[in-house]
Amino acid sequence: MYRAEAACLATSPRTSTVIVDLAQRSAALQRGDGPRGRHSLLDELRQRDEVTEILLDAVDGLEDELLLVYRANRASDEGSGAILFRRQRPAGLEAVHPPAVHTLAQVLFDSLRAEAPNVPLLAHVALALRAILPCAPARDDPGAQRGGLASWQERRAIAFMEERLDQSFPVADVAEACGLSVNHFSRAFRRSIGKPPHRWLLDRRIQKAQDMLRINCLSLADIALACGFAEQSHFTRVFTRTVGIPPGAWRRSAD
């Protein structure tokens, strides 16, 4: 159950701030603190690399903003951070976050335009957004420092592909799971892992195939399908190119 806290309400400002208490799973809506206080808060969050900024399409000519600030018991606790939604995306600029992020953001904006916003709903949606799109990594996140994936993105990408080694899927699906565009994800993945996502996936499938080749009762065709190859011939070509010898010969040498 989400608990609404008393908040300072005012008439339709350009920017609204929702403070989410992670411990209490509650939210407080602030709409009357003026631009100076809000800008000071944003500057502080940006200096600590604790704000993720997302550009949305303007709706009905509105270019309002929404700042979600997530606070734990202490500022250093995991989960603290912020998400800033700005309706100022230039025409033609690619959306780099999952559709669910934009849908939930629209729910928040619609609720804020009401005369009496449903604050428990704001808390519920804000927590859902944080689950889909974790806040910006801390400054000491190695991925953030070297321009690669954040730690949570690297874990999510690898887990996503590991669970689907026997399936065919586009890189766009992995990028979406990490909240990134395909080009951004591919560059960041290569910088973090040392190889492109397609190459990592092929190498991992070959590793799985080697484990299965040690089980003599499995045919090459069965292993190919279990490792995500549509045809045995394709599996044989990739295996030979990667390992240096065909899978059958590798099996015999491994016995």
146 lies in the same domain as 233:
no
CATH of the domain at 203: 1.10.10.60
Element counts in the chain: helices (H) and strands (E): 11, 6
Which of the residue ranges 17-26, 55-64, 104-113, 186-195 has the most confident prediction, judged by mean pLDDT?
Answer: 186-195
Domain end residue (candidates: 159, 176, 194): 194
Count of domains observed in the chain: 3
21 lies in the same domain as 110:
yes
Strand-pair category, 65-71 with 81-86: antiparallel
37 lies in the same domain as 100:
yes
Task: Taking residues 250-255, report their average pLDDT.
Answer: 85
Domain assignment of residue 51, yes or no: yes
> Residue 211 is part of which domain span?
199-254
Domain end residue (candidates: 79, 107, 132): 132
Domain assignment of residue 137, yes or no: no
Q: pLDDT tens, 220-238?
A: 999 999 999 989 999 999 9
pLDDT at residue number 250: 92
SS3 of 45, please?
A: helix
183 lies in the same domain as 219:
no
Domain assignment of residue 37, yes or no: yes
Q: pLDDT tens, 60-78?
A: 655 578 888 888 765 445 5
118-151: buried (b, 16+ CB within 10 Å) or exposed (e) per residue? Answer: ebebbbbbbbebbeebbbbbbeebebbeeebbbb
78 lies in the same domain as 27:
yes
SS3 of 59, please?
A: strand
By C-alpha distance, which of 180, 173, 70, 181 is closest to 130?
70
11 lies in the same domain as 126:
yes
60 lies in the same domain as 108:
yes
168-182: buried (b, 16+ CB within 10 Å) or exposed (e) per residue? Answer: eeebeebbbbbbbbb
Q: For the whole prediction, is pTM greater than 0.85?
A: no
Task: Taking residues 193-200, report their average pLDDT.
Answer: 93
Domain assignment of residue 249, yes or no: yes
66 lies in the same domain as 180:
no
Kindly tell me if the per-residue pLDDT of 179 is higher than 50. Answer: yes
Task: Taking residues 162-174, report their average pLDDT.
Answer: 92
What confidence tier does 201 reach under pLDDT thresholds 50, 70, 90? Answer: very high
